[in-house]
Chains A and B, each alone.
Chain A
Amino acid sequence: MMVELLLIVAFGGSLLTYVLGKLSSRLRNGFALLNALALVIMIGMLYGQEFERSLPFGFLGIQFSIRMNMLSWFFAATILGIGLLAVLYSFRYMKGKERLDYYYFTLLFINASMLGTVVAGDLLSFFIFWEMMSWSTYLLISLRGGGKAIFAGIKYIIMSLVGSLAMLVAIVSLYTAFGTVDIGELAVHMQSASLGLALLVVILFSITFVIINALWPFHTWLPDAHAEAVSPFSAILSAVLVRKGLYGLFLLMYVILGFSFLDRLAVGAISFSNVLAWIGAITIVFAAFRALLQNDSKRILAWSTVGQGGYMVLGVSVATSMGMAGGTFHILNHCIYIALLFFVAGAIEHRTGGIRDLDSLGGLIKKMPVAFVGGLVGIFGLIGLPLTNGFVSKWLIYKSLILEGRPFLAFAAFLGTWGTILYGYKFIHNIFLGQLPDELRDVKRVPFTMAVPIMVLVVLVFLFGVLPGIPLSVVNQVGTYMGFEPLDLNVWGIPSESGTLNVVNLLAAIAVAGFLVWLLFKTLGRSTRVDQSDNYAAGAAIPRGRYGFTREFYAPLYRIVSPYVKDFPDALFLWIADRTKALGGMTRKIYSGYVGSYVMYIVLFLAALVFVQLTWSPW
């Protein structure tokens, strides 16, 4: 009963939050937090259980069913964990804004529907939950109102609708072929399916999942959506919502189809996983260079989300147990540090009065130390420096690519990481380092309820980086569920003979060397702390107000790469949208509204009929 209860609590909680909000805002906040907390506890109790059960009701004669296994559990845990932190973070962030009842309701509702997609046991209920998720996301993206927010929302919902339609067609064709949409049964039936049907289904489903996962060339909705969404929701969007695409791919590739079938879906070197891998590789490189060109803190993070999705797909499509573990672990890691980074960006936005432009910030390390630590650790995780969680998953992905003999894919992955360093440093530098401008002199610290989620995630980044064995054992179980060999593990890393990773050595070495150097520095060096105004400026006193190098941080590189990394897919989609609108305009010209012209159409039509009849006499 646990899973049903989970869904009831999730959906009921969101509705109740809305109702309570009408009574008192404190009550609403408290209840939202309690609800999120209860969900986390419940999912914790479900750890390790595996079952599938049909519900007593259905739709169109199809029995609904739910399932719980390690794959579902893994995704559900990330959803609910990030959900809890986002609710906590929202209290201060959203304070004083309008339509709060609506906001909390939608936030919790999205969480509930995402939870629904991962516990759905048949494709129909999966589809229904998926639609709920899409529509409520649309509502939350456009929450702020105004032309841009509406535009971003529309952009998202159109792409999402295309995806949903593709999925619906796939589900219907599966249903007509096998008469069932239950995932477990489909997995059995699919083994005897014809290749044509399988190809159709795979392509249709892939479109859906690639769109929601924001992979190239369907990434275009994500940057706009992030630029408009509120920060706590951005965290959810980037950390867990787009990763529903990967859940779908897992479901499709390894649960429904299975390895042996996937291998059959190949024409020479072009196989499904190869195509997917190359999409991932292109996504990584393209997103890294696009992120370099951005000047808005949240847009940078949005592009990094796009790029990191590429790593996961790379790991998943290699389809060795190491690559799979890397890809799956990267989902968890990415969800931790990207949520952290969005929380930090949101805190900056909150305290500076809505500044997100990286050219007008600077020097905030002195004013917001917590945000700085969060940002730094998040960027380190994003880059994947040793001792952060990103390192372990990226290590697994690189290693599986190299050992599988796919140097070009590995090259794309590496190059993406180096791009990440560039934009990650820009993010840190332009916000926190350099001179503090005059207008930011009295910025306050991060408020407590916003600092707590940030600190929790900081700890997690290091915890999973230093003790990768703990999360990897869960990841291993996910892999085993999908039919992969479990990796050989210990708490500190991977002691297998094909290449070991031992984080404890790294930790010890870094700690000892750091300590020794620090000792040297402290015993031999003497220094006095000086103010930021005491700075070398060729003998002049530094100018007051703004003094720093932030604008066009990588200008020479922009000039080199910008002709090559134009966002062609975005331009293409916008062009299509434009044409469609023009087509609509043309149709409207035909329906001019004058009775006279309608009469003329009818007369012309009749004349044509008469003409045809007289000339060829077909009737």
Chain B
Amino acid sequence: MRIVWLFLSPLIALVAGVLLLGLSRKIMARIHWRYGPPLLQPVIDIIRLFSQRSASHGILFDLGIVVSLAGSLIITLFLPFGNIAPLSGSGGMLVILYMMLIGPLGIALSGGESGNPNASIGISRNLMLAIGYEVPLLMVLLAVMTRYGTISIVEIVRVQQASTWSIASWPLVVSGLAYLLVMPAMLGFRPFEVVQAPQEISSGPMVEYGGSYLALVSIQHALSLYITISLFVNLMLGGSGNIVIFLFKMLVVFVLFLFVNAVFPRFRIEQAVRYLWRWPTLIGLIGLVLVALVGR
């Protein structure tokens, strides 16, 4: 059974991620008073991209993408998905935190190899944005881990199942608020859509990607949406013992942030980092201090 889930859960994550991507385009269109593309438009795009002949800039250009997608696929094995977490016993949250680096780093290496300054600017923005939101995020994660006294995410979900969701329990509600504030940045949604910024830096790290490269990056993007939201649901909304309910929770969270995305313009990178280091960090710090004071 475990072997089956080892292969099934990345697949489900993939499908869910791509559907979320399609849904986001549809919902965005409806908010803009447009009709919008079909729900499966991302799939059509990916099929088209795979059938195109593209330009490669070297071995690292290829390998970076492959590693990035592989890394993203693997995280889905560590994240509990409903009641299933095939590899959760291999290091817990710390491994997840580190594995979440592989995706962006792979793309950063590959994009850097493309030799395009736009790509380099995009990557530098991506890394700066990452350190921007990691500061509050790490505070939130540490608050959760300290509160439950464990680094195993399965354990965290189980405790929440037995009592209440973290976001509804006393000291963690503050951390939950900080987490909500940084989620758009983690998802790459506006007002933090500084990395791709098609109008100024020609879609940033992806400027030289065409064909199968772009297809893999799109898949990776879909997966990273899935991973980010799934982490939030697991840590804050109590995960779930049931796959359907779990996916439903993810959908609700996703649509919530989509609404933010649809109506906002974009920060400059500097403003984004300043914002992230001001309000979410302050709230996250208060949350962490509270947890340290209240204890387990």
Contacts and interface: CB of A to CB of B under 8 A. Distances in A.
A243 to B, nearest CB: 24
A571 to B, nearest CB: 25
Interface string B259-287: 00000000011100110010000000000
B103 to A, nearest CB: 12
A217 B124 CA distance: 30
Contacts of B270: 556, 559-560
Given A402-B142, A434-B112, A514-B70, A425 B127 contact: yes
Contacts of A513: 10, 70-71, 73-74
A408 B212 contact: no
B124 A549 contact: yes
B70 A395 contact: no
Contacts of A421: 101, 105, 127, 130-131
B91 A521 contact: no
B91 A395 contact: yes
Contacts of B105: 385, 421, 425
B202 A536 contact: yes
B128 A554 contact: yes
Given A425-B105, A526-B211, A510 B98 contact: no
Interface stretch (A177-185, A261-269, A494-502, A572-580): A494-502
B49 to A, nearest CB: 9
A529 interface: yes
Given A434-B112, A556-B269, A560-B270, A407 B91 contact: no
A505 B70 contact: no
A383 B101 contact: yes
A514 B56 CA distance: 19
Interface string B162-177: 0000000000000000
B56 to A, nearest CB: 4
Contact of A499 (B74, B138, B152): B152
B91 A502 contact: yes
Contact of A419 (B109, B123, B131): B131
Contacts of B211: 525-527
Contacts of A528: 53-56
Interface in B169-228: 202, 207-208, 211-213, 215-216
A434 B111 CA distance: 9
Contact of A425 (B10, B91, B108, B121): B108
Interface stretch (A249-257, A273-281, A409-417): A409-417
B146 A391 contact: no
Nearest to B216: A521
Grouping DSSP codes into helix (H, G, I), strand (E, B) and loop, the B interface class, with mixed when no group exceeds half, is: helix
Interface string A545-558: 00111100110110
A398 interface: yes
Contacts of B38: none
B120 interface: yes
Contacts of A405: 146, 149, 292, 295
A553 B67 CA distance: 24
A428 B112 contact: yes
Nearest to A555: B124
A338 B227 CA distance: 33
Contacts of B102: 385-386
A95 B202 CA distance: 47
Contacts of B77: 509
B81 to A, nearest CB: 15
B156 interface: no
A384 interface: yes
Contact of B109 (A428, A501, A534, A536): A428
Contact of A535 (B67, B139, B208): B208
B73 A422 contact: no
Interface string A413-448: 011001101100100110001111000000000000
B196 to A, nearest CB: 14
Interface residues of A, number: 71
A219 B278 CA distance: 29
Interface in A320-378: 363, 365-366, 376
Contacts of B213: 525, 527
A189 interface: no
Contact of B117 (A410, A505, A518, A549): A549
Nearest to B114: A535
Given A402-B146, A524-B50, A395 B112 contact: no
Interface string A378-407: 000001111000010001001100110101
A433 B115 contact: yes
Interface in A515-546: 516-518, 520-521, 524-530, 532, 534-538
B141 to A, nearest CB: 8
B27 to A, nearest CB: 29
B182 to A, nearest CB: 14
A506 interface: yes
Contacts of A520: 216
A516 B211 CA distance: 18
Contacts of A510: 70-71, 74
A560 B66 contact: no
A527 B115 CA distance: 17
A524 B151 contact: no
Given A411-B139, A428-B109, A429-B112, A402 B74 contact: no
Given A385-B98, A421-B127, A514 B90 contact: no
Contact of B142 (A376, A385, A410): A410
Nearest to A424: B105
A560 B277 contact: yes
Contact of A525 (B50, B131, B288): B50
23 contacts: A385-B98, A399-B94, A411-B288, A418-B135, A418-B138, A422-B131, A433-B120, A434-B115, A434-B117, A499-B91, A505-B90, A509-B77, A510-B70, A513-B70, A513-B71, A514-B67, A517-B70, A527-B53, A527-B213, A532-B57, A535-B114, A548-B115, A553-B120
Given A433-B120, A521-B216, A524-B212, 20 more contacts: A376-B109, A384-B98, A407-B291, A407-B292, A411-B138, A414-B138, A425-B112, A429-B112, A429-B123, A505-B87, A506-B91, A509-B77, A518-B66, A527-B56, A536-B116, A553-B120, A554-B124, A554-B127, A556-B269, A560-B273
In order of increasing CB-CB distance, the 6 nearest A-B pairs are A525-B212, A433-B112, A549-B120, A549-B117, A513-B70, A556-B270
